[in-house]
């Protein structure tokens, strides 16, 4: 399941995206403090709690790991310990809640997520359930008839296995509508299909050249087939409708509500261009941001002006509590199933005389310069790297960059890592940002990836335990909407290397590289303390300790006592941020 969202969905595409991925749309500042605004020194414990939770199974993510009660005052944890210890802080106004042995743990940190674009996608035709090309067409038809008034038909979440045998092209999409333009995004966000009307509006012809790299696929007659990949997507994005700030903020707020319902209290927004960061900023400004967010700002081909812009943006968008923009996102490569990931050795399915292996979006030297310049300006670098070639280039670039300021760089996805590079994560203090929900045998892995990597490399995909054993610090993220936003599903897959749910014939595939399974405590730490570390907020979040923020989640089952294959059956009952309820199950009396 190599899934990476990297293009913005249509509505979130920056206006004037003529420059598309090629442009640095955002910027930052010189004297960047890496500490987010919420990471201020803890106050002294209060004498009278606002809330005391008793009789709980509290997993603290600290030492000692298990406690039974906690007290909250002014949004902070004033006591964690026994019932007696916590109840010492009770006063006349204190609310006391008996948790009846429910599990409470630190709120989850999703360290790689696309909530703004995901929120916008919720407004579009969703294709994630499609199993075949006919399913795709039926879903598009249904959406079209339910949404007769708009002009564009925008769809997202197309699973590539659904069209592996019967490819999509503009003529097939014309069957849905020849009059209304149609754009369909692949689930991984790295490709899109357009109908003839959309190709016409985007002015894509057999003679069109992309200025940002990428591929305009041609059919057997030499005409555009309708499929655009990677940087070529910018050609379509420039003609797509753009949502107003009000609509973008509303869509983002909806996505954050969903995240809260899964126990997520902090996140790293993994690709924040202007449209994305302004939606977060709008919510923060109006005190409506129910999430602690570090945004990884968009970078493209960097020029002196672009560096100035990204610096200015980091300063501008880090003013309010709960939002910091001191991370910068670099896409080092694409995805394996599209042959756009950078591999050290050739793809297995290509003839020897045409064995493309290197598909870095930037040359290793360009990458080094970008990383160095961004690090010099105080940015944490968040690098998308799927193939072992991209991972190596990313590590080489980070090794050459200054990190005197404890910038805490991270590399996300890590589908294939050369064994020789595993130890470099710890040596260079680079966090391995794992998308654990991808590590099971689904059609992406079996049908699309295995033939391209061959047996030896397939036995090493998603080497999360090898990274752990080699001393790497782990963080974890969903990459939603590429994969589930529910951390408990990802945790189950991390420990089982199997799908969190049975397939439609009621079975589960064997584990994918079982030796790479993590312990539950490892992936739980990645979702709590690991995420707090990459967001520079470990003094305030990530564990339940006195003086830290009361960011926590209560589950209906104790995942540490469940069989591994049932972890995802646990449900979130309550999510608190700074002691305030941001999600509550309707059946919970709290
Ligand atoms: Zn992503």
Ligand 1 mean position, distance from CA 111 (Å): 10
What's the pLDDT score for residue 23?
28
Ligand 1 mean position, distance from CA 282 (Å): 22
Ligand 1 mean position, distance from CA 22 (Å): 18
Residue 70 is encoded by which pair of tokens? Answer: 């906690």
Instruction: Summarize pLDDT for 242-259 with one digit per residue, the tens.
Output: 889 999 999 999 999 999
What's the pLDDT score for residue 25?
29
Ligand 1 mean position, distance from CA 27 (Å): 19
What's the pLDDT score for residue 94?
97
Ligand 1 mean position, distance from CA 545 (Å): 31
Phi, psi of 294 (to 5 degrees): -110, 125
Strand partners, 20: none
Determine the Cα–Cα distance for residues 127 and 118; give it in Å rounded to an integer: 13
* Block residue for tokens 């005197």: 404
Beta strands, E only, 133-243: 153-158, 182-186, 191-194, 215-218, 224-229
Ligand 1 mean position, distance from CA 5 (Å): 5
Angle of CA points 38, 39, 41, to nearest 5°: 115
Determine the Cα–Cα distance for residues 8 and 241; give it in Å rounded to an integer: 12
Same fold, 118-237 and 245-534: no
Contact 17, 278 (CB under 8 A): no
Ligand 1 mean position, distance from CA 179 (Å): 33
CA torsion through residues 257, 259, 265, 266, sign: negative
Beta strands, E only, 32-137: 51-54, 57-59, 66-67, 69-73, 76-81, 95-98, 103-106, 108-113, 125-126
Ligand 1 mean position, distance from CA 412 (Å): 8
Ligand 1 mean position, distance from CA 521 (Å): 24
| H or E segment and range at residue 521 | helix 520-525
Fold (topology level) of 118-237:
Diaminopimelate Epimerase; Chain A, domain 1 (3.10.310)
Ligand 1 mean position, distance from CA 116 (Å): 12
Determine the Cα–Cα distance for residues 532 and 160; give it in Å rounded to an integer: 34
What's the pLDDT score for residue 356?
65
Contact 188, 335 (CB under 8 A): yes
Ligand 1 mean position, distance from CA 488 (Å): 19
What's the pLDDT score for residue 144?
95
CA torsion through residues 237, 243, 249, 255, sign: negative
What's the pLDDT score for residue 212?
65
Ligand 1 mean position, distance from CA 534 (Å): 16
Ligand 1 mean position, distance from CA 92 (Å): 48
What's the pLDDT score for residue 507?
77
Q: Which CATH superfamily, name and number, covers 51-107+545-584?
A: Urease, subunit C, domain 1 (2.30.40.10)
Phi, psi of 516 (to 5 degrees): -90, 5
Ligand 1 mean position, distance from CA 278 (Å): 19
Ligand 1 mean position, distance from CA 6 (Å): 6
Q: Residue 479 in 3-state DSSP? A: coil
What's the pLDDT score for residue 44?
45
| H or E segment and range at residue 258 | helix 245-261
Phi, psi of 87 (to 5 degrees): -70, -15
What's the pLDDT score for residue 210?
75
User: What's the gap between Cα 282 and its chain centre?
Assistant: 21
Ligand 1 mean position, distance from CA 176 (Å): 30
Write down the architecture of domain 245-534 according to CATH: Alpha-Beta Barrel (3.20)
Ligand 1 mean position, distance from CA 8 (Å): 10
Extract the residue ranges of the chain whose pLDDT is less than 50: 1-32, 40-46, 353
Domain ranges of the chain: 51-107+545-584, 118-237, 245-534
Determine the Cα–Cα distance for residues 45 and 570; give it in Å rounded to an integer: 32
Tell me which DSSP letter residue 214 carries.
Answer: -
Contact 284, 320 (CB under 8 A): yes
Nearest Cα residue to 299 out of 362, 214, 386, 228: 362
Ligand 1 mean position, distance from CA 587 (Å): 34
What's the pLDDT score for residue 355?
57
* Block residue for tokens 């973008």: 248
> How far apart, in Å, do the first and last CA atoms of the chain sit?
39
Ligand 1 mean position, distance from CA 114 (Å): 6
Ligand 1 mean position, distance from CA 586 (Å): 32
Instruction: Name residues with Cβ closer than 5 Å to ligand 1, which is an ion.
Output: 4-5, 270, 479
Strand partners, 298: 329
């Amino acid at each position: 399941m190599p899934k990476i969202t990297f293009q913005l969905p249509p509505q979130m595409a920056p206006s004037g995206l003529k420059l598309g991925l090629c442009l640095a749309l955002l910027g930052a500042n010189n004297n960047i403090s890496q500490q987010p605004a919420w990471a201020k020194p803890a106050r002294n414990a209060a004498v009278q709690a606002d809330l005391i939770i008793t009789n709980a199974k509290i997993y603290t993510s600290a030492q000692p790991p298990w406690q039974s009660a906690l007290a909250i005052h002014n949004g902070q944890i004033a006591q964690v310990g026994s019932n007696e210890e916590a109840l010492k802080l009770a006063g006349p106004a204190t609310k006391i809640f008996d948790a009846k042995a429910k599990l409470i743990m630190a709120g989850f940190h999703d360290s790689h997520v696309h909530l703004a674009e995901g929120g916008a996608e919720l407004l579009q035709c969703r294709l994630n359930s499609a199993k075949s090309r006919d399913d795709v067409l039926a879903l598009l038809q249904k959406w079209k008839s339910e949404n007769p008034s708009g002009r564009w038909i925008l769809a997202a979440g197309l699973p590539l296995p659904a069209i592996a045998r019967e490819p999509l092209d503009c003529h097939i999409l014309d069957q849905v509508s020849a009059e209304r333009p149609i754009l369909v995004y692949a689930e991984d966000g790295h490709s899109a299909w357009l109908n003839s009307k959309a190709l016409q509006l985007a002015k894509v012809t057999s003679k069109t050249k992309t200025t940002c790299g990428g591929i305009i696929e041609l059919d057997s007659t030499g005409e555009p087939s309708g499929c655009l990949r990677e940087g070529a997507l910018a050609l379509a994005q420039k003609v797509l409708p753009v949502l107003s700030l009000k609509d973008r903020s509303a869509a983002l707020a909806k996505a954050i509500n969903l995240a809260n319902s899964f126990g997520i209290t902090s996140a790293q927004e993994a690709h924040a261009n202007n449209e994305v960061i302004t939606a977060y900023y709008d919510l923060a400004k109006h005190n409506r941001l129910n999430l602690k967010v570090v945004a990884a700002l968009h970078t493209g081909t960097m020029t002196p002006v672009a560096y100035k812009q990204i610096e200015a943006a980091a300063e501008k968008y880090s003013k309010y509590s709960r939002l910091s923009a001191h991370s910068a996102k670099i896409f080092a490569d694409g995805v394996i199933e599209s042959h756009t990931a950078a591999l050290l050795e050739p793809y297995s399915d290509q003839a020897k005389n045409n064995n493309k292996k290197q598909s870095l979006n930037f040359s290793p030297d360009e990458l080094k310069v970008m990383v160095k310049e961004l690090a010099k300006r105080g940015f944490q670098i968040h690098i998308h790297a799927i193939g072992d070639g991209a991972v190596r280039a990313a590590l080489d670039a980070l090794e050459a960059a200054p990190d005197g300021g404890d910038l805490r760089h991270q590399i996300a996805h890590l589908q294939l890592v050369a064994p020789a590079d595993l130890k470099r994560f710890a040596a260079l203090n680079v966090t391995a940002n794992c998308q654990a929900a991808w590590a099971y045998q689904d059609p992406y892995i079996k049908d699309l990836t295995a033939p391209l990597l061959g047996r030896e490399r397939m036995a090493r995909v998603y080497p999360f335990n090898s990274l752990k054993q080699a001393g790497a610090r782990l963080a974890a993220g969903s990459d939603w909407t590429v994969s589930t936003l529910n951390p408990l599903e990802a945790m189950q897959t991390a420990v089982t290397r199997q799908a969190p749910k049975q397939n439609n014939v009621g079975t589960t595939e064997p584990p994918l590289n079982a030796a790479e399974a993590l312990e539950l405590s490892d992936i739980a730490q990645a979702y709590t303390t690991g995420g707090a570390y990459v967001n520079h907020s470990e003094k305030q979040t990530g564990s339940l300790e006195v003086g830290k923020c009361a960011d926590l989640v209560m589950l209906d089952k104790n995942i540490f006592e469940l069989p591994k294959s049932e972890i995802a059956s646990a449900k979130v009952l309550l999510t608190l941020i700074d002691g305030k309820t941001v999600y509550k199950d309707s059946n919970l009396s709290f």
